[in-house]
Amino acid sequence: MAYAFARFRFPGRQAGLFGLLVGTLLPPVALMTPLFLMVRTVNIKSTLVSLIIVYTSFAIAFAVWNMRAAFQSISKGLEEAAFLDGAGYWTAFWNIDLPLAMPAIGVAAIVAFLIAYSEFAMGWMFVTQSNQVTLAMTISGILIQGSYQWSLMAALSVLMSIPIVVIFILLQKTLLERLSFENIME
């Protein structure tokens, strides 16, 4: 979607971009009722699938805007050179545009993960079974119950931070290399 918004001109493009921008500006609470009605209509309330759909709907607007900017920053001359060498649209996309946009795609993926991983307010509305709550919901639930088990909350907080730290450590070198264009010019 981001590539299409960046490279092609089509009817409804401006309206679609404006809709995505409004989607990034709206707080998640503003979309709770429509999402709840949609999830209830499809009959997937109180499932992890409903949480995946909800969290994806919040992250997609930011991800498209971020990746659109990345695709716009890639010179069209690189694609045109590939076309002169006989490449088609898909070949140019997979071999030129996608590798150059990987830092933005990585940032969008990390931000989308963090949005879903640390959010709990929407989770309370879409999950009602105690065995399907997220870790952030569990920490919040301990506080709401009034049982201030500080050692348990500290342990859960450390446990919750481990995946974020691991992702950062694994992707740190790759993102920094790609952002500094070290591997692109080789």
List, for residues 70-82, the tens digit of each pLDDT value.
899 888 888 888 8
Q: What is the pLDDT of residue 182?
A: 47
First-last CA distance in the chain:
29
Q: What single-letter DSSP state applies at residue 52?
A: H
> Domains of the chain, with CATH numbers?
2-179 (1.10.3720.10)
In this predicted structure, the answer to whether residue 175 has a pLDDT above a threshold of 70 is: no
Read off the pLDDT of each residue in 46-56 and give the average, rounded to a whole number. Answer: 81
Tokens, residue 95: 């071999």
Read off the pLDDT of each residue in 120-142 and give the average, rounded to a whole number. Answer: 77
Output the pTM of the full model: 0.74
pLDDT above 90 coverage of the chain, percent: 3
Question: What's the half-sphere exposure (Cβ side, CA atoms, 13 Å) at 152?
Answer: 11
Residue 28's pLDDT band, with cuts at 50, 70 and 90, is confident
158-164 CB contacts, 8 Å cutoff, 24+ apart = 159/135, 160/117, 160/135, 160/136, 163/117, 164/114, 164/117
